């Protein structure tokens, strides 16, 4: 055992999993579903034998881990904090900054946390050639040596372009017991993943090898459980409606994703909410198991 590994075993009782806060804030899910999402994700990580650590900026301080009495705040109104906003949120003492995937990965990496769970990753937006809108989530995956578990990328993105970008950035993309890249609410997108895995032991071995070789991000793409999935054609129709609605309001930049997520709730008559909750919980559980497997492989 290395000195670092033995120190970790002495100082930490459990492997840890970082969770982002944007999905639990008013920017991600409507109340009271966001609190349910938070509770289900915390439970799923704990049930796997790991410790959930919610990332956020509270009272101008970066946080990795929040107390139960702070959960209401995590589920309340927030300002969105991507990686570049972290320093501003601290410097200006923001009351509550909800961290996206990119900010959460930065905080997780700084805290030595190797596994992170989210709902759906941000990525290359449709029409990116005109707008230039590519989520900072992708750059964060390219930079930080952390395993991210997500239900693929958000369905309203250009998923093919998102996969291309992940390849360019040398992010390892692993389909979790699937050959297809999941489309968030839908189990399949019609796009193949480069590799698929069946077990968390495989993920741990691949991540360790990637990091030993100087690599950074590993993305485990897990389809939403069958019972809660929405058919790809149905969600695509809702996406068309939601994107048209969001475009009509002239929304731009960081506001696009929260606006489209909210419009999708309307376009699916609320059906996207239980799906979003189920996939977030599923990802958290898999992340917990991966964290345990990584600790065992130390
Ligand atoms: N997936 C969800 N709900 C969310 C998000 C993703 O189910 O709220 C958030 C994540 O925090 C992700 C962010 O990092 O959207 C991406 O925003 P943008 O597209 O502006 O980079
Ligand atoms: Mn963007």
Atom of ligand 1 nearest to the CA of 103: 14
CA distance 57 to 278: 26
List pocket residues of ligand 1, CB cut-off 6 Å.
20, 22-23, 27-28, 100-101, 118-120, 122, 135-137, 154, 254, 257, 261, 276
Ligand 2 centroid–CA 3 distance in Å is: 41
pLDDT of 278 higher than 50 = yes
CB 57 within 8 A of CB 86: yes
Q: 202: helix, coil or strand?
A: helix
pLDDT of 55 higher than 80 = yes
User: pLDDT confidence of 1, banded at 50, 70, 90?
Assistant: very low
Where residue 250 falls (left for φ over 0; alpha for ψ -120 to 50; beta otherwise) is: left
CA distance 83 to 73: 21
Q: Quick one: which ligand is closest to 85's CA?
A: 1
Check residues 178 and 250 and name the one with the higher pLDDT: 178
pLDDT of 86 higher than 60 = yes
CA distance 14 to 226: 30
pLDDT of 248 higher than 70 = yes
Of 20, 114, 180, 281, the active-site residue reads 20
CB 238 within 8 A of CB 264: yes
Rounded to an integer, the average pLDDT of 264-288 is 96
Q: Could you tell me which CATH number the domain at 4-297 has?
A: 3.40.1790.10
User: pLDDT confidence of 4, banded at 50, 70, 90?
Assistant: low
Ligand 1 centroid–CA 291 distance in Å is: 22
Chain mean position to CA 96: 19
Q: What is the pLDDT of residue 113?
A: 98
* Residue environment code for 249-263, b if the CB has 16+ CB neighbours within 10 A, otherwise e: eebeebebbbbbbbb
143-199 pLDDT per residue, tens:
999 999 999 999 999 999 999 999 999 999 999 999 999 999 999 999 999 999 999
Q: What is the pLDDT of residue 10?
A: 52
Ligand 2 centroid–CA 130 distance in Å is: 13
Q: What is the pLDDT of residue 49?
A: 98
Which residue owns the Cα nearest ligand 1 atom 20?
254
Tell me which of 18, 21, 23, 264 to substitute to probe ligand 1's pocket, judged by most ligand atoms within 8 Å of the beta carbon: 23
Strand ranges, E, within 92-143: 96-99, 115-117
User: pLDDT confidence of 137, banded at 50, 70, 90?
Assistant: very high
197-221 pLDDT per residue, tens:
999 999 999 999 999 999 999 999 9
């Amino acid at each position: 055992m290395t000195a670092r590994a033995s120190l970790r075993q002495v100082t930490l009782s459990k492997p840890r999993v970082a969770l982002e806060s944007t999905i639990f804030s008013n920017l991600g899910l409507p109340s009271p579903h966001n609190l349910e999402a938070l509770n289900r994700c915390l439970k799923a990580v704990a049930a796997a034998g790991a410790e959930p650590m919610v990332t956020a900026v509270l009272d101008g301080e970066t946080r990795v881990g929040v107390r139960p009495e702070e959960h209401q705040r995590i589920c309340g109104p927030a300002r969105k904090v991507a990686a570049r906003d972290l320093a501003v949120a601290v410097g200006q003492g923001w009351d509550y900054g909800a961290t996206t995937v990119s900010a959460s990965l930065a905080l997780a990496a700084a805290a030595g946390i190797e596994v992170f769970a989210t709902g759906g990753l941000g990525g290359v937006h449709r029409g990116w050639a005109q707008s230039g809108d590519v989520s900072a989530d992708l750059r964060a995956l390219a930079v930080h040596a952390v395993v991210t578990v997500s239900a693929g990328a958000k369905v309203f993105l250009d998923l093919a372009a998102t996969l291309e970008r992940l390849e360019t950035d040398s992010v390892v993309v692993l389909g979790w017991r699937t050959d297809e890249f999941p489309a968030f609410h839908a189990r399949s997108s019609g796009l193949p993943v480069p590799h698929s895995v069946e077990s968390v032991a495989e993920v741990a071995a691949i991540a360790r090898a990637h990091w030993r070789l100087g690599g950074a991000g590993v993305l485990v793409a897990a389809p939403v459980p069958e019972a809660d999935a929405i058919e790809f054609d149905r969600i695509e129709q809702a996406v068309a409606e939601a994107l048209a609605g969001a475009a009509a309001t002239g929304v731009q930049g960081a506001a696009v994703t929260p606006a489209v997520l909210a419009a999708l709730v309307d376009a699916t008559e609320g059906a996207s909410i239980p799906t979003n909750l189920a996939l977030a919980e599923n990802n958290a559980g898999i992340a917990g198991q991966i964290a345990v497997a990584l600790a065992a492989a130390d």
